[in-house]
């Protein structure tokens, strides 16, 4: 987030920053002011809140049971995303 605040203080164009963060076909409405665009940028790069732990999953056996019952599994790693 420090990078965003630095860009704001340097007078960077938030539209240019936002265009670099979203897919090319994304339309950015002209009526959005700079402050709103910076808020959107901050929300895009902010870390999501931690998910609450499931109360009924306290042991490895519980996790294995959930994995065994799952139809699709998404594994997130530090290096990217892997679909199984």
pLDDT of res. 41: 94
Residue-wise DSSP of 39-81 = HHHHHHHSPPPPPPPPTT--SHHHHHHHHHH-S--EEEETTEE
pLDDT of res. 10: 95
Under 8 Å between Cβ of 36 and 26 = no
Q: pLDDT tens, 20-38?
A: 999 999 999 999 999 999 9
Query: Phi/psi at 81 (nearest 5 deg)?
Result: -120, 140
pLDDT of res. 54: 87
Under 8 Å between Cβ of 62 and 56 = yes
Q: Which residues of the chain have pLDDT under 70?
A: 79-84
């Amino acid at each position: 987030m420090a990078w965003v605040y630095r860009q704001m203080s340097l007078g960077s164009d938030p539209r240019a920053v936002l265009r670099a963060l979203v897919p090319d076909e994304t339309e950015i409405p002209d009526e959005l002011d700079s402050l709103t665009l910076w808020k959107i940028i901050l929300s895009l790069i902010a870390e999501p809140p931690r998910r609450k732990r499931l109360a009924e999953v306290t042991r490895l056996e519980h996790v294995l049971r959930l994995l065994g019952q799952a139809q699709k599994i998404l594994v997130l790693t530090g290096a990217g995303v892997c679909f199984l």
